[in-house]
């Protein structure tokens, strides 16, 4: 956004000369961090309401304390969630999604819809590939 409040960004900044999106290292790194194994579950929970650490642990039972801690720190570092200290004695911390994090909802929903729509075809392709590999 420019100083005059207008958005002068060019939608083709991340495209190569053929008009196709390029996926460079920064893009891959960000997508790996935001769409990893536990991040989607955490973001799904936080889209509904702010949660404390143990609430997230209970709602995502398969995640370990170490993995959840790392996921929360990674999402916070990327500006997708915020950590709020709600009391100091005893220490109580709550996590909530940021406005930037909320913008992930639509593209993730589109990706999940694509996966759901195409899962049968993908499973058939996998089965055919596996049959060729293991005659």
The residue to which tokens 């170490």 are assigned: 66
Structural domains in the chain, sorted by start: 25-103 (1.10.10.10)
pLDDT at site 100: 95
Query: pLDDT: is 116 or 1 the higher one?
Result: 116
| CA Rg value for the chain | 19
21 pLDDT tier (thresholds 50, 70, 90): confident
pLDDT at site 23: 78
* DSSP at 80: S
Q: Residue 100: which residues within 8 A CB-CB, separation 6 or more? A: 79, 80
Query: pLDDT digits over 50-93, tens only?
Result: 999 999 999 999 999 999 999 999 999 999 999 999 988 888 99
Please determine, for residue 11, whether its predicted confidence score (pLDDT) is greater than 70. no
């Amino acid at each position: 956004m420019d100083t005059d409040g207008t958005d002068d960004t060019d939608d083709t900044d991340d495209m190569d000369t053929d008009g196709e999106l390029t996926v460079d290292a920064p893009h891959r790194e960000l997508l790996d961090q935001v769409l990893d194994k536990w991040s989607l579950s955490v973001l799904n929970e936080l889209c509904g309401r702010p949660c404390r650490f143990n609430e997230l642990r209970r709602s995502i039972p398969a995640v370990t304390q170490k993995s959840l801690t790392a996921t929360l720190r990674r999402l916070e570092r990327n500006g997708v969630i915020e950590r709020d200290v709600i009391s100091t004695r005893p220490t109580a911390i709550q996590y909530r999604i940021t406005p930037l994090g909320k913008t992930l909802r639509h593209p993730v929903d589109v990706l999940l819809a694509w996966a759901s729509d195409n899962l049968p075809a993908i499973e058939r392709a996998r089965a055919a590939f596996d049959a060729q590999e293991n005659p």
